[in-house]
A and B are shown apart, each in its own frame.
Chain A
Amino acid sequence: MPIFYLGQAIKNQATKERGDSMQSRQKQSYNISTVFVLGILLIILVPLFLGSKTLTIPNSFPQLNTIFLSILIEAIPFVLIGVLIAGFIQIFITEDHIRKWIPKNKFLAVVMSCVVGAAFPACECGIVPIVRRLIGKGVPLYAGVGFLLTGPLINPIVILSTYMAFGNDMEMALLRMGVGFVAALAIALTVSILFKSNQLKKSTGNFESATTGNKKQPFAARLHEMLKHSIDEFFDMSKYLIAGAFVAAFLQTYVSTQSLLQLGSSQMQSTFVMMALAFILSLCSEADAFIGASFRNVFPTSSILAFLIYGPMIDLKNTIMLLSVFKAKFVFVLFILITSIVFLFVNLTILL
């Protein structure tokens, strides 16, 4: 099989070398994510090896596995809907459609970008390359950021899954949308004050026109392309979901409520615990509601809300992707901004 693929590999190598230094940067970030994925694999394998020492699966493993699979069984339908829509957008909608709406006025542009993002169904994993292309084509940075933040956070599938995950209760879904939207506005506006240039890594912006060439294709062919896209997106995304579900199931099986409560005994601490969890788990926004909901009898509502708002805006996986697009300094400032503003706004909801 390696020989089989050699020809292909050489060809890819050739295309890569034709690319710019951006490619090599991307390669570097792949290494970071390799480490990340290996780390998760370790988490998965260690309990299995511990079990194999005694040559039997530990009694708790079927319990863990049941919880793990139940999260997946609930989440996968939403992921599938998500990747189908993502595939649709990739093939049928061009960036021009969205960009047309962004006005010249800074504040209006931010509001507009957040609204467009809210109407645009995307996952945090799918939105990064879209935002990169938008900014490369001249959409201001702050508008791109607003779109980046609300795109994965507010969309029909996320609302539906949040509604269902919390026992058909609209309150959490509404809070998630409302507080998330206001926080996204605040973050994008701060970005508009702090940064003047587009903050893209120098090498991007070279290849802008390739996407527009496919309009002439017949509908059936484009539909076929869309589904192929969806499949690749599914495989791309599901590994993060699976790893996240496993970590969540692992925590539920082996960590007791009491110790989690101790970890986050005060309002502030538990909010931080949940935000850290959202960051590390790197869940897809279409499925994270189920995992957030599973912590309901451990943490107060506001902390769960922080989990639901923070996760779609930034997480480990997303940060790795952002680093491959934007300057490291900008990503760092954005990370600090998102963290502090979400934390502040979520804690303000207690006063409501």
Chain B
Amino acid sequence: MKFHFQHFLKALLLGLFTLFFANLHITGDIIKYINPKYDYMSKMTVIFFFVLLLIQVTRIWQEKHTHHVCSHRCDHDHGNSHWSLRRVVSYSIVAFPIVTGFMVPPATLDASIAANKGFLVSQGGGQSGGTERKSLMEGAESLVEKEDIDIYSSEHVPLPNENYLSEQEYDGKLRLLQESESIQMTEDMFSTYYGEINDNLESYVGKTIKMSGFVFKEEGLTGNQLVISRFLITHCVADASIIGFLTEFTGAVTIQEDAWVEIEGVLEVGNYNGYDLPLLKATSLNVVEEPSEPYIYPVLKMLGN
């Protein structure tokens, strides 16, 4: 029997991966990274990693050199050969995300990322922005027709994606949007309402909108203008796109960027670079704590629908 250090190292890394994924679910940090809709995938991953760990543990101590089943020519590394710089680098790269994952706490995307993605650009000012927004709207329309699932309820259910709305409830919420004078942009309907308002701006002008979001001051805004923004997460944080309303508020200069605020305002038609866009004239604005679930998730189509 012989102790294989590289097999031990692999087992250690697999163990750490198992812990990392399990920890995400235990602490609930998983929602800082991905749309909770897909969280079963990463739960499955915990099990996969654990099984692989068990298998790998059996390889740490083994007979001198058992003949490997795959031929000499399978191109990957079976950890039987000697050390090289390349191997050290390889293991370091694999260890890197585990180290940063445990050491650096997850952050909520902030205005610096929003600045990179650009808000006004996506409002029609940019070259590809127009088509992008159009496809977002198409998505919103088709979900109005087809969807009856509430992805993200404001009721703080631990797993918001499993909170289903019946079709009547969904239609009811949409009718509420069309008929009421005051629109509450709740998390569950945010992307749907947002799409609908952008699509038919004229029919919503003059209505009161209540929403919360973080403050983003994009280059090109005037002193009393802010974007009250949310990130729309389709799948994971990496695909976030920024949605929100351009807001005018007289005390805007005093509000820090990245602060979370609750606002109430009247919807008007604004203009940027010759494009119409919704503009909120804020009547009240309060700084609040960052919510525990800062992201917005779109209503997604299910397979077979």
Q: Which residue of B lies closest to A163 (CB)?
A: B303
A38 to B85 alpha-carbon distance, docked (Å): 9
A248 to B87 alpha-carbon distance, docked (Å): 23
Which chain A positions have C-beta within 8 A of B84? 34
Per-residue CB contact flags for chain A residues 212-248 toward chain B (1 = under 8 Å, else 0) read: 0010010000101101111111111011001101101
Contact yes or no, B100 A73, CB < 8 A = no
Q: Which residue of B lies closest to A239 (CB)?
A: B93
| B259 contacts chain A at the CB level, 8 A cutoff | no
Which chain A positions have C-beta within 8 A of B71? 207, 210-211
> Which of A37, A61, A67, A265 meets B86, CB within 8 Å?
A37
A168-B300 contact in complex given A5-B83, A77-B48, C-beta closer than 8 Å: yes
| B137 contacts chain A at the CB level, 8 A cutoff | no
Which chain B positions have C-beta within 8 A of A4? 3, 5
Contact yes or no, A34 B86, CB < 8 A = yes
| B26 contacts chain A at the CB level, 8 A cutoff | no
| B56 contacts chain A at the CB level, 8 A cutoff | yes
A74-B38 contact in complex given A34-B85, A224-B55, A293-B239, C-beta closer than 8 Å: yes
| B90 contacts chain A at the CB level, 8 A cutoff | yes
A256 to B3 alpha-carbon distance, docked (Å): 50
Binds A, one of B152-160, B170-178, B192-200, B229-237: B229-237
Which chain A positions have C-beta within 8 A of B78? 232
A12-B81 contact in complex given A214-B69, A227-B55, C-beta closer than 8 Å: yes
Contact yes or no, B10 A231, CB < 8 A = yes
Contact yes or no, A73 B34, CB < 8 A = yes
| A175 contacts chain B at the CB level, 8 A cutoff | no
Which chain B positions have C-beta within 8 A of A71? 236, 238
Which B residues from 205 to 239 make CB contacts under 8 A with A? 234-239
Contact yes or no, A128 B93, CB < 8 A = no
Contact yes or no, A290 B239, CB < 8 A = yes
A37 to B68 alpha-carbon distance, docked (Å): 27
Q: Which residue of B lies closest to A6 (CB)?
A: B82
Binds B, one of A272-280, A295-303, A339-347: A295-303
| A179 contacts chain B at the CB level, 8 A cutoff | no
Per-residue CB contact flags for chain B residues 84-119 toward chain A (1 = under 8 Å, else 0) read: 111001101110110011001111111011011110
Contact yes or no, B238 A235, CB < 8 A = no
Contact yes or no, B90 A70, CB < 8 A = no
A73 to B30 alpha-carbon distance, docked (Å): 9
Contact yes or no, B92 A41, CB < 8 A = yes
Contact yes or no, A11 B236, CB < 8 A = no
A253 to B5 alpha-carbon distance, docked (Å): 37
Contact yes or no, B236 A73, CB < 8 A = yes
Contact yes or no, B122 A297, CB < 8 A = yes
Contact yes or no, A8 B80, CB < 8 A = yes
Which chain B positions have C-beta within 8 A of A230? 52
Total B residues in contact with A, Cβ cutoff 8 Å? 88
Contact yes or no, A168 B301, CB < 8 A = yes
A245 to B78 alpha-carbon distance, docked (Å): 24
> Which of B74, B128, B135, B302 meets A299, CB within 8 Å?
B128
A66-B90 contact in complex given A9-B82, A232-B79, A236-B76, C-beta closer than 8 Å: no
A40 to B93 alpha-carbon distance, docked (Å): 9
| A328 contacts chain B at the CB level, 8 A cutoff | no
Contact yes or no, B82 A74, CB < 8 A = no
| B182 contacts chain A at the CB level, 8 A cutoff | no
Which chain A positions have C-beta within 8 A of B49? 80
A207-B116 contact in complex given A12-B81, A261-B128, A297-B241, C-beta closer than 8 Å: no
A234-B118 contact in complex given A63-B110, A76-B45, C-beta closer than 8 Å: no
A242 to B58 alpha-carbon distance, docked (Å): 26
Contact yes or no, A63 B235, CB < 8 A = no
A sample of 7 more A-B contacts (CB under 8 A), given A11-B65, A225-B68, is: A34-B84, A69-B100, A129-B73, A227-B51, A232-B76, A232-B77, A238-B94
Q: Which residues of B contact A (CB under 8 A)?
A: 3, 5, 10, 13-14, 17, 21, 24, 30, 32-34, 38, 41-42, 44-45, 48-49, 51-52, 55-56, 58-59, 65, 68-86, 89-90, 92-94, 96-97, 100-101, 104-110, 112-113, 115-118, 121-122, 126-128, 131-132, 135, 139, 234-239, 241, 298, 300-303
Nearest 7 interchain pairs by C-beta: A9-B82, A62-B107, A70-B237, A70-B33, A210-B71, A70-B236, A236-B76
Q: Which residues of A contact B (CB under 8 A)?
A: 1-2, 4-5, 8-9, 11-12, 30, 33-34, 37-38, 40-41, 44, 57, 59-63, 65-74, 76-77, 80, 84, 90-91, 125-126, 128-129, 132-133, 164-169, 207, 210-211, 214, 217, 222, 224-225, 227-236, 238-239, 242-243, 245-246, 248-249, 252-258, 261, 265, 270, 290-291, 293-294, 296-301, 321
Q: List 14 A-B contacts (CB under 8 A).
A: A2-B83, A30-B86, A41-B89, A41-B93, A63-B113, A66-B32, A80-B52, A126-B76, A165-B239, A167-B235, A239-B93, A249-B238, A252-B238, A257-B117
